[in-house]
Amino acid sequence: MLLTIDVGNTNITMGIYHQDELVASFRMTTKTPRTSDELGFLLCNMMITKGINPDDIEAVIISSVVPKIMYSLTSSIRKYLHREPMIIGPGIKTGIRIQSDNPKEVGADRIVNVAAAYHTYQKACLVIDFGTATTYDYVSDEGVFEYTVISPGIEIAAQALVSQTAKLPDIEIKKPASILAKNTIQGMQAGLVYGYIGQVEYTIKKIQEELKQKMMVIATGGLGRMIAPETKLIDLYDPDLAYRGMKIIFEKNREVFNHEH
């Protein structure tokens, strides 16, 4: 079995593959500081509750945008799973070419998403990842990762609205039945969700206009589940895109990695 770990700014999400099937997934928060023993204990117990024996994990691959957690995380994998994790970074083969002003600045999470989208559909794609930030990443028909747009995530927008005003309350992020709100909470929900849908649609249209082409538009990330059904400009929502991207990258590097370790 292959354990894929996606370390984001808000959550650590994990998916387990048995051959080509994703058999389990789970998540924990990133922001709680944990020792390697705490992480190892949580990892093993989450697997056991899903009916998976930790001893059956044959390999581990990590995509991370949070450097400060990596020492504890990699130590926990070595101590509790007895595996050397493959870490996505410079020198790893991905199956795509990064053509940007500074390729080293491109986060592993975005490389994983774009690799999965291009490998799966073999054509130009725009991947929108609704995470802590919302990223729009374009990969061409030739598999070149060329352009990106980054905006505050919807949760960041909600937190800013509450923290920078004196009287606006914390709210649940959900779409109200109508944009014509009659109270403060629904008004905030309408502004956040309908406003965000508008931002997403305009950004997609502007990218397509400047590139003079249509492309497949794929949404992923937790809040993509809420936004994707609200616009016809998003072709599909794929919550498992990052796991699949890590599996693809693992397969491309397995032979060399096994030889070195």
In a domain, 138, yes or no: yes
If asked whether residues 149 and 225 sit together in one domain, one would say: yes
Token pair listed for 135: 């990223």
What confidence score (pLDDT) does residue 96 get? 93
In a domain, 92, yes or no: no
If asked whether residues 22 and 50 sit together in one domain, one would say: yes
pLDDT, one tens digit per residue, over 121-138 is 999 999 999 988 999 999
What confidence score (pLDDT) does residue 203 get? 97
What confidence score (pLDDT) does residue 220 get? 96
What confidence score (pLDDT) does residue 218 get? 97
pLDDT beyond 80 at 261? no
- The whole-model pTM stands at 0.91
| pLDDT class of 258 with cuts at 50, 70, 90 | confident
What confidence score (pLDDT) does residue 170 get? 85
* DSSP assignments along the chain, one per residue: -EEEEEE-SSEEEEEEEETTEEEEEEEEESSS---HHHHHHHHHHHHHHTT--GGG--EEEEEES-GGGHHHHHHHIIIII--PPEE-STT---SSEE-SS-GGGS-HHHHHHHHHHHHHH-S-EEEEEESSEEEEEEE-TTSEEEEEEEEE-HHHHHHHHHHTSSSPPP------S-SS-SSHHHHHHHHHHHHHHHHHHHHHHHHHHHHTS--EEEEESTTHHHHGGG-TT--EE-TTHHHHHHHHHHHHHHHHHHHH-
If asked whether residues 79 and 108 sit together in one domain, one would say: no
If asked whether residues 115 and 173 sit together in one domain, one would say: yes
If asked whether residues 75 and 102 sit together in one domain, one would say: no
If asked whether residues 118 and 46 sit together in one domain, one would say: no
pLDDT, one tens digit per residue, over 143-163 is 999 999 999 999 898 888 888
Average pLDDT of the chain to the nearest whole number: 93
If asked whether residues 104 and 69 sit together in one domain, one would say: no
- Cα(259)–Cα(90) distance, integer angstroms: 18
| pLDDT class of 110 with cuts at 50, 70, 90 | very high
pLDDT, one tens digit per residue, over 64-87 is 999 999 999 999 999 999 999 999
pLDDT beyond 80 at 103? no
What confidence score (pLDDT) does residue 172 get? 86
- Assign residue 27 the CATH number of its domain: 3.30.420.40
- Cα(113)–Cα(108) distance, integer angstroms: 9
If asked whether residues 109 and 67 sit together in one domain, one would say: no
Q: Write the single-letter amino acid at 81.
A: L
In a domain, 200, yes or no: yes
Average pLDDT for 100-117: 88
* Residues acting as catalytic residues: 109
Domain boundary among the residues 34, 69, 87 is at: 87
In a domain, 255, yes or no: no
How far is C-alpha 136 from the chain's CA centre? Answer: 12
Domains of the chain: total: 2
| pLDDT class of 120 with cuts at 50, 70, 90 | very high
What confidence score (pLDDT) does residue 257 get? 85
What confidence score (pLDDT) does residue 171 get? 84
If asked whether residues 82 and 115 sit together in one domain, one would say: no
| pLDDT class of 90 with cuts at 50, 70, 90 | confident
pLDDT beyond 90 at 17? yes
Domain boundary among the residues 69, 87, 105 is at: 87
In a domain, 60, yes or no: yes
If asked whether residues 116 and 201 sit together in one domain, one would say: yes
What confidence score (pLDDT) does residue 97 get? 92
In a domain, 254, yes or no: no
If asked whether residues 49 and 112 sit together in one domain, one would say: no
Provide the residue range defining the domain that includes 230: 97-241
pLDDT beyond 90 at 21? yes
In a domain, 258, yes or no: no
Token pair listed for 186: 């629904």
50: number of CA atoms within 13 Å, CB side? 20
pLDDT, one tens digit per residue, over 163-199 is 888 778 888 888 999 999 999 999 989 999 999 999 9
If asked whether residues 113 and 38 sit together in one domain, one would say: no
In a domain, 248, yes or no: no
